[in-house]
Amino acid sequence: MTIDAVVARVMAEDCSLVEITGGEPLLQDGVFTLMTRLADAGRTVLLETSGAVEVGRVDPRVRIIMDLKCPGSGECERNLYENLDLLSRSGEIKFVIADRRDFDWACEQVRTRHIADRFAVLFSPVFGELEPKTLAEWILASRLAVRLQLQQHKYVWDPSARGV
């Protein structure tokens, strides 16, 4: 779809909140124009990004939810920590946690980089690998100012469903 077609579709849906996600949106150059156009149209725009692409070109009106990839993801070395200095205070940092090693690593990042002092922090269990209750217990014991986040669409719809 063209940017004009996407904007028209969003406007036809009469929704005030638009979230851009899927793969890594920032790898598509047109996404920057799309986000700005949606913000210009009065929409609240959220961007979910892997944290592996520099976020400096994102319109400042866009709320960024950025992953910091844990060791269990196999993508930890792709984290661009410089992005932490480019996010506004409305940004959110998300850690997707597979096991205790990931949890301990995420806690260390939150503490040493003072992430919870600057942004909302989300800890999310890898669906099917880490029980949400276990992660909740670890969070409570850590006493860190982080929130538990579940991939709710995987509980509401079949976890393999797309476009939901």
pLDDT tens, position by position, 96-132: 999 999 999 999 999 999 999 999 999 999 999 999 9
pLDDT tens, position by position, 34-87: 999 999 999 999 999 999 999 999 999 999 999 999 999 999 999 999 999 999
pLDDT tens, position by position, 14-24: 889 999 998 89
The domain in which residue 50 lies consists of 1-57
Same domain, 43 and 121: no
Same domain, 25 and 49: yes
What is the pTM assigned to this prediction? 0.90
Q: What is the DSSP string of 71-126?
A: GGGT-GGG--GGGGGTS-TT-EEEEEE-SHHHHHHHHHHHHHTTHHHHSEEEEEEP
Same domain, 39 and 74: no
Same domain, 53 and 83: no
Same domain, 96 and 159: yes
Domains contained in the chain, number: 2
